[in-house]
Structure 1
Amino acid sequence: MAERMLQFVRLQQQTPEKRAATARREDFNEIYARFAPEKAAEQASRCSQCGVPFCQVHCPLQNNIPDWLKLTAEGRMEEAYEVASATNTFPEICGRVCPQDRLCEGNCVIEKGFDSVTIGSVEKYIVDTAWENGWIKPPTPTRELPWSVGIIGAGPAGLAAAERLRVRGFQVHVYDRYDRVGGLMIYGIPNFKLEKDVVLRRWEQYAAGGIQFHLNVAVGQDITLEQLRERHDAVFIATGVYKARDVELPGSDLNGVVPALDYLTASNRKGLGDAVPEFDDGRLNAAGKDVVVIGGGDTAMDCVRTAIRQGAKSVSCLYRRDKANMPGSMREVNNAEEEGVQFLWLSAPEAFLGAKDVTGVRAVKMHLGLPDATGRQQVEPIEGSHFVQPASLVIKALGFDPEDLPTAFNEPALPVSRWGTLKVDHKTMMTSLPGVFAGGDIVRGASLVVWGIRDGRDAAAQIEAYVKAKAKLAEAAE
């Protein structure tokens, strides 16, 4: 190990080559090139193989990161893939979209002084290599079981649960109201972070493994939750959260003031070749416009960087706190700055201006005050600091809340918290409805893809235990 690893003392951190900002502004392709094999091995060899791997501790999936880094450094790529996929259903997706600067890489023990190991880039390289070499197979079980599970939602949590249950032999049916599998991975995250082929090939792989997908099916309209409970031995709700948070300001009803998800979905659908009238007529197209995005999370970064690529005249991001307090990934903020986005720090919107169409955002400068009960500094307006930011398209990227599922599913007994998320027993992940489980964002609130994967895998284990215990009781009663 000493020969191949601990090379951080002589090798500097090096990420895969990043395309120049001027070039990447012109298309929606991923911005990083792929590691050359020798470079991937070199960067993996920088791992210190520490006794307490904080990269693993701070990964929601507790991925065995030091192990697959060592295997990559030794050129044992198929084994590296087996280790990476043992704990992660979609390592190639996490390698692309996880905020590694806040999770694994941000907690790398060599980060102070030597710069962290490029964990995400190596993870992406491992799995892309596995796809190219045919090492990734459909999730076919060794034996079929007589039980079936219905999964509502084909996003990260639903797909992770589906894969785990299918491998164990369950008959798995996934229901989704959209026409493609992937949830926000397809319609929310732009191509420059996650090219759609990466998600769509998983759909094909899972269908080949016997997972049955029922698309364009809205639970509560096309089928009821009660019918799903009758049809399946257990049901897993993994719908995610899609209700846009809003800000009630004067002028919110003006043309050109739009929610972030509508804007991103239109762009992604256009890229997939769909007919998108709202894009074609300019309502959800930033081309030639002064764009203002309100918000500071990863969704806001997706919006500003999409607007740049659509040919916006100018793109600015209005955020009421400073850069250090941005909830989004600093890596994404830096990429946006390189691409020409103007950030208006410590600025809060007060009104949208215009007669029929939006023409500007009136905002006020803020300053950080004393910490609140959570320890986060409060923001307070600075008197007399108002200004107007020109805008012909305003995108509200303020986060997402749960939809009213008891009403949507026509199931008033479905329990929700005061935040609208589904209530579950956190040990079993089951709601108060027997056999109905839930996980992902619909339980924890808007979160990361990696947490959705974690919940889906955990739920699969709980569902398996529940169904087998129920079958055992029924057998004993006969």
Structure 2
Amino acid sequence: MAERMLQFVRLSQQTPDKRDAAERRTDFGEIYQRFSAERASEQASRCSQCGVPFCSVHCPLNQNIPDWLKLTAEGRLQEAHEVNAATNTFPEICGRVCPQDRLCEGNCVIEKGFESVTIGAVERYINDTAWEMGWVKPPTPSRELAHSVGIIGAGPAGLAAAEQLRKRGWQVTVYDRYDRVGGLMIYGIPNFKLEKEVVLRRAEQFAAGGINFVLNCAIGRDVTLDELRAKHDAVLIATGVYKARDIGGEGADLSGIVPALEYLTASNREGLGDDVPDFASGALNAAGKRVVVIGGGDTAMDCVRTAIRQGAASVTCLYRRDKANMPGSMREVKNAEEEGVTFSWLSAPEGFVGENGAVTGVRAVKMHLGLPDATGRQQVERIAGSEFTEPADLVIKALGFDPEDLPAMFGAPELAVSRWGTVQVDRRSMMTKLPGVFAAGDIVRGASLVVWGIRDGRDAADQIEKYVLAKAVTPALAAE
């Protein structure tokens, strides 16, 4: 073990410098500065190199985190990158958007007596350096194979599967209904967390490696699922989940009440230079408005922080539980508070009020936490007589996402779905009820994290390969 490790006993945790809140709230640039080489080495050296690395155990990709921390501490950055990239398709993205405080860093062994290793920041440093040095290469195979796969969806799961199969020589075509590659990494996550160039350069690299992208292509409209099945040896459904969960109540049809993804997509498209009529008209622009965001997850945090940057007059987040029970990253909540967002904890919306057809406020009631339910989570109960109205000119619903009706969209009624609308698969093979059609990512597990999409996509690639190869040798075995 290198003498440089286990430095947590003498070195305190140092996170990357953050831009001042007053400055960063005026633009969409990433808020965290990059580590210097010296700082990255020092912080990586704090790793205890423990025998059972809980950071790896709690990473959905089971990355060899202690290994690439040790290599970073020793200044062996190219090797650190190679170890990191061996298990992660998008390490430079995970270093930015993963909720490390809930995953690797939140389970760091030294965190109990000392502050955890800054794993995410070191991962970002390793891979930003790798891009600058030209160490990141397109997924070019050593030999070409005739096997063909059609992947529906150019988000994390679809792209992870595409990269894995392309490296093995497969002919890979990715179909997506949008005009850019990246899914929610492009249109859902704001620039202050993930600058779009970080995603677009991956897309360009994948294309250079021979992955074929067919964009502005909706399955069921431009091509049928049956046509894809006839064209490819296997098909992977990795569409993600885009249907916004809604909230009813009196006044829910007033103008100025919008779904989170519509709002975020408009902001991201405007930042990309697209013509966005609803942004230009003010319908999806928070400038000068009293904004209320309903929800407590990471999407809600993206919305409140976007509204701040658009110049909202005020931004309030309504969440029916308390801060400790928020599903979103505490790091993101802290950033939002620093930037001027007001949180109304234990507040549940009940309806909306308006004038001349436009929303002017959210009717809400205060809640308190009661006894745990069957899942162990405390139930929320209404406090009688605590009703209040939160003024609002723009209300953004960030209540989560559900699957769209894929059997209807794809014209494939035989595609089995669960009662929640997620695609049903065999959990071992990841194959749907349709032979040769697989599914992975949020469309199977429900709305989740980028890192879980990557994990599912890589696993799906293995299962697709196993299926196609077994199918290819079956006639020969039968002939014997």
Q: TM-score under structure 2 normalisation?
A: 0.99
| Residues 8-40 of structure 1: CA deviation (Å, up to 9, x unaligned) | 000000011111100100100000011000000
Counterpart of 1:303? 303
Correspondence 1:442 to 2:443 = yes
Amino acid at match of 1:410: G
Amino acid at match of 1:435: G
Give CA deviations for 1:175-217 in whole Å, capped at 9, x if unaligned.
0000000000000000000000000000000000000000000
Q: Which whole-Å CA distance do the structure 2 matches of 1:3 and 1:168 have between them?
A: 39
Alignment of 1:242-281 (within 5 A): 242-281=242-281
The CA distance in 1 between the partners of 2:392 and 2:408, in whole Å, is 37
User: Is 1:402 matched up with 2:403?
Assistant: yes
Q: Deviations over 1:126-163 (max 9, x none)?
A: 00000000001100100100110000000000000000
Aligned to 2:434: 433
- Partners of 1:113 and 1:353 lie apart in 2 by 50
Matches of 1:2 and 1:262 in 2, distance apart?
Answer: 50
Give the match for residue 453 of structure 1.
454
The alignment partner of 2:17 has SS state of coil
Q: Deviations over 1:273-318 (max 9, x none)?
A: 0000000000000000000000000000000000000000000000
Partner amino acid, structure 1, of 2:393? S
1:302-321 equivalences under 5 Å are 302-321=302-321
Aligned to 1:92: 92
> How do 1:218-233 residues align onto structure 2 when only pairs under 5 Å count?
218-233=218-233
| Secondary structure, counterpart of 1:110 in structure 2 | helix
- For structure 1, the 5+ residue unaligned runs are none
After the TM superposition, which residues 417-432 of structure 1 pair with which residues of structure 2 at under 5 Å, given as runs? 417-432=418-433
Q: How does 1:53-452 map to 2 (within 5 A)?
A: 53-355=53-355, 356-452=357-453
State the 1:474 CA deviation: 3.1
CA apart distance, 1:112:
1.4
Quick one: which amino acid aligns to residue 323 of structure 1? Answer: K
Give the letter for the 1:422 counterpart.
Answer: V
Which whole-Å CA distance do the structure 2 matches of 1:375 and 1:245 have between them? Answer: 24
CA distances 1:365-419 after superposition (whole Å, capped 9, x unpaired): 0000111111111111111111111100000000000001000000000010111
Deviation of the 1:475 alpha carbon: 3.6
Partner residue of 1:469? 470
CA RMSD, 1 decimal: 0.7
Deviation at 1:263, TM superposition (A): 0.1
Per-residue deviation at 1:250? 1.0
Residue 476 (structure 1) shift: 3.9
In 2, the alpha carbon distance for the partners of 1:443 and 1:404 equals 13
Unaligned 5+ segments in structure 2 are none
Shift in Å, 1:171: 0.0
| Whole-angstrom distance in 2 between the partners of 1:465 and 1:371 | 44
Partner-residue secondary structure (3-state), 1:383 = coil
2: CA distance between counterparts of 1:475 and 1:185?
A: 44
- TM-score, structure 1 as length reference: 0.99
2:208, 2:292 → 1: CA distance? 44
Q: Cα distance 1:136–1:2, how it changes in 2: closer, same or farther (>3 A)? A: closer
The aligned residue for residue 35 of structure 2 is 35
